[in-house]
Amino acid sequence: MSTTETAPPGARTETSKGVRIADWADGRLGIYSFHSLIRKVFPDHWSFMVGEIALYSFIVLLLTGVWLTLFFDPSMAETVYEGSYAPLHGVTMSQAYASTLDISFDVRGGLLVRQLHHWAALTMIAALCVHTMRHFFTGSFRKPREMNWLIGFVLLVLVILEGFLGYSLPDDLLSGTGLRIAEGVTLAIPVVGTYLTMFLFGGEFPGHDVIQRFYGFHILLLPGIITALVTVHLILVFYHKHTQFRGPGRTERNVVGQPLMPNYAAKAGGFFFLVTGFLALVAGIAQINPVWAYGPYRADQISQGSQPDWYMGFLEGALRAMPPWEFVLWGYTVNLGVLIPAVVVPTLMAAVLALWPFLEAWVTKDKEEHHLLDRPRDHPTRTAFGCAFIALYLVLFFGGANDILAERFHLSLNSVTWVVRIGFFVVPVLTYVVTRRICLGLQRRDRDKLLHGRETGRIRRLPHGEFIEVHEPLDRGTQYALLSRQDYQPLPAPAPEHNGIPNPHHRKEVLRHRLSRWLYGGQIAKPTREELAHAEHTEHDEHAVEQREQGQDVH
């Protein structure tokens, strides 16, 4: 609050207008108590910008989505098109498709906003995927951020679902093909599949209500849930304080960086306009989803080479790679050719990703808080598992384009499909093995740097004729960062009994021990103090010899 002390003679006693406004707002909102909030420190690292890209893309989506709702008609009632696009004159289509054409050709700036909306959606999903990978590979999901990890995972799933719903709204031939696949996947779910299909489509496919229902989900329900989860996610980021990479002055109890106001806010504001400008540039020069080229959806038509948006490519690939297996059980057909690739595999992938923080905490018995991040090489098994997960996704993603690959590279479609089937099992395993070996190799290199310094590229010949490379000691900051990494050790093997009393949790502890060996076994230990002291003494002696050879005095 402003001061009430007596002013000295001749001094100005009238408070400024800005102070009066601030006092008025503080009396009603308590804005003076926000001082600690606006001085909150955020670390300055490029990888943290990925989450900001997702957030700013979401803001662009909200703004462009509101504009598009003013012109889009979510009706499946049939009409005859008489708009500006001459090739479709006289064609019967739904009101939804006709209004999409009107936005593209008759509303000023409509095509730009449509494409900006679509590119922002693709960018947001891509940024969320990279953001999730950053958190996974650096271990930022550990206590106390497990719930925020789950919120972020649910956000990723909801945004993908939101993208699919928006992709389906124009009711063109390409999106209608995607809806037909969604109907088949829903029907393949045992027991409840038929009821879910009737709920979504309002009758036999394609029905007359699916666009209206998807429209309500797309513009109201899912955006509201996503906005609420984003808000909670950001609140928890503020509450838990930001994670940071290891380095000088950085501990589990502090954050080294720049304050929210004015430094971080200015950077974030500028970055928002950069992201928005880049999306607008791409929307203006790169065509996407030209619905007029596909035509309106008809259940008896499909185009060769139809592809979904990239984030649904893995599901398409799984469906194409799976053999058409099915059997009849108690009079009901169980379609494994759809159930396994489109329901079981995605559910297992999602469950592993969502529950990994809890699995790792259970295996390691780790109950401490973690605010310092791991480098991916410092946790080889986790990094290898994450890369194998990505490799599995990419195999299925390229499998979704097996017809395009076969056509462009003049290959057999069956051969491409079999490569995807074999790659589904082989590629993730090879990726896991190679990635883990690379991480262990990088750990050995870090250990060698700590003991002998970094390579300089200078070659020196010793008196007896041997050629060696000259090494330089690491700077203190790099040395501290390498030495501060946590040495993870597997849990000790449990005893089957203690003082003749059987261990009732022996099986569970054995499982935990084996998993901890898988997670932490075989890592390269950091140099001990004795090894570092010996290496430093040896390097000093070699440096002294070198100086003597050059005719310099050593004191």
pLDDT for 471 equals: 79
Q: What angle do CA 149, 155, 159 make, to 5 degrees?
A: 150
If you average pLDDT over every residue of the chain, what do you get? 86
Please name the residue ranges forming H helices in 139-209: 146-168, 173-188, 193-201
In the Cβ-directed half-sphere of 86, how many Cα atoms lie within 13 Å? Answer: 0
Given a cut of 50, whether residue 313 has pLDDT beyond it is yes
Q: Which of 231-235, 386-390, 535-539 tops mean pLDDT?
A: 386-390
Angle at 394 between CA 245 and CA 415, to 5 degrees: 160
Q: Which pLDDT score is estimated for 1?
A: 43
Rg for the chain, CA atoms, rounded = 30
Residue 31: what pLDDT? 67
In the chain, what percentage of residues exceed pLDDT 70? 92
CA distances from 352 to 355, 432, 530 (A): 5, 16, 42
What is the pLDDT averaged over residues 36-61?
86
pLDDT at 449 exceeding the cut of 90? no
Q: What is the pLDDT of residues 86-99, one digit of tens each?
A: 999 999 999 999 99
7 pLDDT exceeds 60? no
Q: Is the pLDDT of residue 541 over 70?
A: no
Q: Return the structure tokens found at 378.
A: 């410092």
Question: Of 492, 494, 458, 455, which Cα lies nearest the Cα of 473?
Answer: 455
* Segment 410-437 mean pLDDT: 95
In the predicted model, is pLDDT for residue 555 greater than 60? no
User: Is the pLDDT score of 315 beyond 80?
Assistant: yes
- Position 2 scores a pLDDT of 46
Residue 454: Cβ within 10 Å count: 14
Residue 13 pLDDT grade (very low, low, confident, very high; cuts 50, 70, 90):
low
The residue with greater pLDDT, 146 or 366, is 146
* Structure confidence at residue 113 as a pLDDT band (50, 70, 90): very high
Segment 434-444, tens digit of pLDDT: 999 999 999 99
The whole-number pLDDT of residue 554 equals 41
Per-residue pLDDT at 134: 94
Which range in 27-41, 433-447, 471-485 is most confidently predicted, on average pLDDT?
Answer: 433-447
Query: Domains of the chain, with CATH numbers?
Result: 43-246+257-302 (1.20.810.10), 453-542 (no CATH)
Instruction: Give the pLDDT score at 543.
Output: 57
pLDDT class of 553 with cuts at 50, 70, 90? very low
Residue range 99-107: mean pLDDT, rounded: 94
What is the band of 70 on the pLDDT scale with cuts at 50, 70, 90? very high
What confidence category does residue 540 fall into, taking pLDDT thresholds of 50, 70 and 90?
A: low
> What does the block give as tokens for 428?
């993730």
Task: Give mean pLDDT, residues 478-499.
Answer: 81
**pLDDT at residue 161 greater than cutoff 70:** yes
Number of other CB atoms surrounding residue 61 within 10 Å: 25
- Helix, coil or strand: residue 178: helix
Q: Looking up tokens 């304050």, which residue turns up?
A: 259
57 has a pLDDT exceeding 90: yes
For the chain, how many residues are written? Answer: 555
Per-state percent for the chain, helix, strand, coil, to nearest 5? 65, 10, 30
Q: Which tens digit of pLDDT belongs to each residue from 202-243? A: 878 877 888 999 999 999 999 999 999 999 999 898 888 888
CB neighbours of 519 closer than 8 A, spacing ≥ 6? 360, 363, 364, 381, 382, 488, 490
Q: Which residues contact 354 (CB under 8 A, 6 or more apart)?
A: 149, 150, 153
